[in-house]
């Protein structure tokens, strides 16, 4: 049976639809940075997704890694994630100003995948697909203490869930800690192209710190 990050790390990928506080360990990601409205037809965001999955599947099919079953490590490619922010916005993101969105699209890498493996995958995908992958980077991120919650439904309704998260954090002695290096974080568990809006699922995570 293939290793599935969502099942093995439910505390990170499958929280309940009520807020909780969690410490996120250091993780490595495939990453692509960009800006602009993600809903635009030819957006940088949509381009970033194609780049990420091309590299993610090149690594998956490379049969590398120390945990091998029948010669290779079987795993399900982890879900698409994203860090989002807007300049000078220290409370999250303004959903009414999507043209000003800044983002880092990411897909988690298995722990055994090294930067050298990543660089090999970039080279391999470039040769096979005849495509420019220079925007794709190897990103190590130590997220730390966060408040998170499963959000159900439209992305535009996320502020309702976010308000509950912030209230929960404050009631437990924490305050929001969004900075130039700690971001509004989303993990997408549904494909909006194949799922009714009312049934969309994504994890929302915000960095927090103890109130002094």
Range of the domain at 43: 10-210
Return the closest-CA partner of residue 103 out of 157, 148, 139, 67.
Answer: 139
pLDDT of residue 63: 57
In a domain, 119, yes or no: yes
In a domain, 5, yes or no: no
> Mean pLDDT per 10-residue run, the chain (212 residues)?
89 96 98 96 96 95 54 81 91 90 96 91 95 98 98 96 98 97 97 90 98 91
Question: Two tokens at 49?
Answer: 């997704």
From the CB of residue 19, how many other CB atoms can be counted at a distance below 10 Å? 22
In a domain, 56, yes or no: yes
pLDDT of residue 177: 97
In a domain, 154, yes or no: yes
The Cα–Cα gap between 145 and 210 comes to 9
In a domain, 66, yes or no: yes
Q: What is the CATH number of the domain that holds 28?
A: 3.20.80.10
The Cα–Cα gap between 42 and 212 comes to 45
In a domain, 96, yes or no: yes
- Domain tally, the chain: 1
In a domain, 4, yes or no: no
pLDDT of residue 64: 53
In a domain, 2, yes or no: no
pLDDT of residue 40: 94
């Amino acid at each position: 049976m293939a290793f599935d990050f969502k099942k093995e790390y439910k505390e990170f990928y499958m929280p309940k639809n009520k807020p909780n506080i969690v410490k996120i360990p250091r993780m490595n990601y495939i990453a692509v940075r960009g800006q602009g409205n993600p809903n635009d037809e030819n957006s940088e965001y949509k381009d970033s997704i194609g780049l990420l999955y091309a590299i993610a599947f090149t690594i998956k099919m490379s049969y590398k890694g120390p945990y091998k079953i029948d010669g290779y490590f079987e795993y399900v490619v982890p879900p698409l994630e994203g860090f989002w922010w807007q300049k000078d916005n220290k409370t999250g993101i303004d959903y009414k100003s999507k043209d000003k969105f800044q983002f880092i699209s990411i897909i988690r890498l298995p722990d055994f995948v090294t930067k050298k493996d990543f660089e090999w995958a970039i080279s391999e995908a470039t040769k096979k697909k005849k495509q420019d992958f220079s925007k794709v980077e190897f990103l190590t991120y130590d997220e730390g203490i966060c408040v998170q919650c499963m959000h159900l439904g439209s992305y535009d309704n996320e502020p309702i869930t976010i308000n509950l998260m912030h209230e929960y954090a404050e009631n437990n002695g924490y305050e929001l800690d969004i900075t130039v290096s700690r971001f509004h974080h989303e993990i997408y568990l549904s494909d909006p192209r194949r799922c009714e809006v009312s049934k969309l699922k994504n994890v929302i995570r915000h960095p927090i710190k103890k109130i002094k």
